[in-house]
Structure 1
C-alpha cells in the first residue's frame, strides 16, 4: 500500500470514527430525552385522571366503539382503570394488559401513600409498541396509561439514518481532503524517489536534487543532495587514487620486469657474468620490491582510512609523542636527530600523531644527505621537521601534501608521494594545519600546527 493510500485511509477512518462517536452520543442523548419525555407525559396524564383534572374512564367499558370514544379523552394515550380485584372498570381505548408489574400495583393495600407508587413498562398491542405506566390508586385498584412509541421509533430511526448519511459524507470528504494532502505531501517524495532511481540506473551522482521546502521533507532533500555530493566527491577521489596509483605502480613494475627478464636471459645464456653484476641486478630487484611494498602499505593507509576518523581524541602530550617517535627512528636507522621540545598538551590520538611525525622524519631522512642532520622542533602546538636536502620548490609547496605529488627535483628518487598526504589527513582530523617551507639550511621545513589545550 502506498503512502498516499495510507493517508487517505487514515483520514477516512478518523472521520468515520469521529462521526460514529458523535452520532452514537447524539443518538443516545436524543433517545434518552424522548423516553424521558414520554415517561413524563404518562406520569402527568395518570396524575390528572387520578386528581379529577381529566374525566376518568370508569364505567366506559373495556373496549372502544367502532365510531370512536364519545368521551372527551385525548387520542394521544389510552387510559384504563381497574378495581381492587384486577377487573377493568373503564378504558378510553383498547384494553391494556394486566402485567405482573401492574398486578403488584393493584394488589397494594389502600393507604394515603399509594399514589407515590408507579411502574413503567414496554408492551406490544396488536403488533404496535407502547410505553405503559401503572399507578396504584388510593381507593384501591390502579390506573394505567399507555402511549404508542411508533412516532418516537420513527424519529429515532430517521435520526439514525441521518447520522449514517452524515458519517458517509464526512468520511468521503475527509478521504478526499486526505487524498489532496497526500498528493501534495508525496509529490516531493516522488521526485526524490525519481532522483534516487536515476542515480541507481545511471550511476550519475551529479543529478540535481530540488530543495524547495523548509520542513522535514526539505531537510531530507537537502540531506540527499549533500549525500550525493559526498558520493560524487568520493568517487572522484577513488578514480584519482586509481589513476595515480596505476601511474606510480607502472614505473617500479616495469623496472622490476626488465630486471627479471635480464636475469632470466643471463641464466639461459652461456656467457659468464661476474658476481658483482649479478648482485647489482638482484639489488635492483630487491629495491623495486621494497618500493612496491612501501607503496602498497601507503595505498592501504589511504584507501581504507586506517587513521580511523572516528578515533576518540583525548588530552595527550605532543612533546612526549614526538620524543618517542624520534627515539624509535634513531633506533631503526642509527641516524642522529636533534630535538628541541617544549611541553605541549593537545587533544589528539597518540598512534595517529606518532605516525604523522614518523612520516615527516622519514621524508626528511629520504631527501637529506647522510651528513646533514635532521632537526625536530616542538613548540606552542607546532611540530617542524627540518633537513638539509634539496628543499621543496616554491611552486610545489602547496601541492606537496597531495596524493602522489612529487616535485621535479625528487622524481628520480625513491618514494611514493603518499607519506605527506597521510600526514595532512591525520592533521586535518585533529583540526590542525600543515605547511611546507624552506629551512635555514636551504632544505625543507615541513610540519603541522595543532590547537593547544591551555592548563
Structure 2
C-alpha cells in the first residue's frame, strides 16, 4: 500500500507537470501566432466599413455592408484571426475580414497611450473561448484620426479540447499505473519479505523444538540477505556453543569418573576392613590414605580448572581488570615452579612489561605453562623463561611435542597419548589460551626455535614497558 501510494503521488505529480507543460506550450503557440498577425490598415488595402456603440451592432453592420458590396474581398487572411477596434469612448469598429465579435473588457483600455502589447484570455460574443492580443494603434476612420485599442483574437476551442483529451488520457494512465503499482508492489513485497517469513519460521521452529543450528537460504546482498546471514551465523554459533557445552560435560564426567572410582574403591576397602574386624596393616593403610589424598587434590585441581573454563570467552564489565606488572607475575610463577621442580634449573630473564588484564588469571596461565615445562623436563634439566617487549617464552628440554599433535594442544581435555600416565586433566593449556584471548594477546606452542630438544611456549600480550600514568 505504501508503494502504491508513493507511485500514485509520483504519477499524479508527473501527470500534472505534463498537463501544465503541454498547456503552456499550446498557448505559447497561439500567442506566437497572434504576434504574427498583420496590422490593420486604413486605405485601399483595408477599409473600415462599420462602427457602432457596441460590438454586436458594429458586426451586424459590417456583415450587411459586405454582403451588399460584392467587390469587397472577404477573408483576406482566411479567418485565422478576428480583428476589432475599440475606442476610448467604447465605440467599436470592424474591418471586412472579421466575422466574429470579441467581448471587450474595461482593462483593454489600459494599453491606450502605450506601446505595450499584452495578451489575455477572452471569448467571442457566441461564448467560444479565444486568446486576445491587445495593442494601441492610431488610425484614421471616416476622416477622423484617433487612437484605438486593436484586439486580435484566435479561437482556442481546439486547444482546450486537446487539453481535455490529454487530461483524460493522463487520468487513465495514472489509474492504470496506481493499480499496476499496487499489484506489483504486493508481488515485490512478498518476494522481498520471503526471507523474513523463512526467518520467522526458523525462529519459531527453534523456540518450539530447541533445535539450534537451523539456517535459511541467503539470496542477494541486500539488508534482508544480511539479516539472514546474521541469523545463520547466530544459529551456528549457538549450535557450536551447545556442542562445546555437551562435550565439556561429557569430558568432565569422563575425567571425574577415574578419581571418583579410585576414591570409592579405597573407601570401600577401608570400610570392609573395619566391618570384618581385620584392620589393614599400618603401612598399607597409610599408603591407601596417601592415595586418597592425592586423588582429592587431583579432584580439587580439576574442579578449579572447570570453574576457570566456565567463565565467558570475553571479559564482562566489572571483572577484576587492572594494569598488571607481567614481569612480577612471571617472577612469582617461577618461584612456585621451583618448589614443584626442585631438581631443575631455571634460567630467567624478564624485563618490565605492563598489561591490562586480570592478575589472578594471568598468573594462573603462566603457572600452567611452567607446570608443563616442569612436568616434561628431564631430571636435572633447565627451564628457560624470558620476557622481552611483551613476549613471554617458556622452554623446556624434554621430549617435545610431535608435529601431528600440535593442532590439538589447546583443546579442552586433550592429552598426548604419550603423557596419559602423567598427572593432569588436559585443561591447563585451554585455560592459558582463554586467558590470553581475554587479554587481547596470542599464544603458541611448538618445537624449540633452535631445533634442539624440548617445546617452546610463547605468549604475546599488548602493553608497554612503563606503567601508564
TM-score tier (shorter): 0.5 to 0.7
1:248–1:140 Cα change, 3 Å: same
Cα deviations by residue, 1:235-274 (Å, 9 ceiling, x for unpaired) = 211101112223444566788899999999xxxx9x9x9x
Alignment of 1:108-187 (within 5 A): 108=112, 116-123=115-122, 125=125, 128-138=128-138, 139-172=146-179, 185-186=192-193
**How many Å separate the matches in 1 of 2:268 and 2:187?**
76
Matched, 1:58 2:50: yes
Cα deviations by residue, 1:78-131 (Å, 9 ceiling, x for unpaired) = 4333445322344845654453223345xx4xxxxx583444333455655443
1:45–1:415 Cα change, 3 Å: closer
Matched, 1:48 2:40: yes
**How many Å separate the matches in 1 of 2:149 and 2:233?**
90
Contact kept in structure 1, 2:374 and 2:396, CA below 8 Å: no
Contact kept in structure 1, 2:377 and 2:397, CA below 8 Å: no
TM-score, scaled relative to structure 1: 0.64
**How many Å separate the matches in 1 of 2:167 and 2:160?**
10
Contact kept in structure 2, 1:318 and 1:344, CA below 8 Å: no
1:400–1:161 Cα change, 3 Å: closer
Contact kept in structure 2, 1:318 and 1:343, CA below 8 Å: no
Instruction: After superposing the two structures, state which structure 1 stretch, 294-303 or 350-359, moved more.
Output: 350-359
Matched, 1:87 2:86: no
Alignment of 1:233-312 (within 5 A): 233-249=240-256, 293-305=300-312, 308=315
SS in 2 for 1:153: helix
Q: Deviation of residue 326 (structure 1)?
A: 0.6
Matched, 1:203 2:211: yes
**How many Å separate the matches in 1 of 2:157 and 2:51?**
29
Cα deviations by residue, 1:321-360 (Å, 9 ceiling, x for unpaired) = 6444213555x87957621245699998775664322013
Contact kept in structure 1, 2:84 and 2:152, CA below 8 Å: yes
**How many Å separate the matches in 1 of 2:289 and 2:43?**
137
In the other structure, the counterpart of 2:142 is: none
In the other structure, the counterpart of 2:6 is: 13
SS in 2 for 1:85: coil
In the other structure, the counterpart of 2:31 is: 39
1:263–1:63 Cα change, 3 Å: farther
Unaligned runs of 5+ in 2: 139-145, 463-469
Matched, 1:418 2:427: yes
Tell me the number of residue pairs that the alignment of Structure 1 and Structure 2 aligns.
Answer: 419
Aligned mate of 1:27, from 13, 19, 23: 19
TM-score, scaled relative to structure 2: 0.63
Cα deviations by residue, 1:160-197 (Å, 9 ceiling, x for unpaired) = 22233333444555566656655655555655555555
In the other structure, the counterpart of 1:101 is: 107
In the other structure, the counterpart of 2:395 is: 384
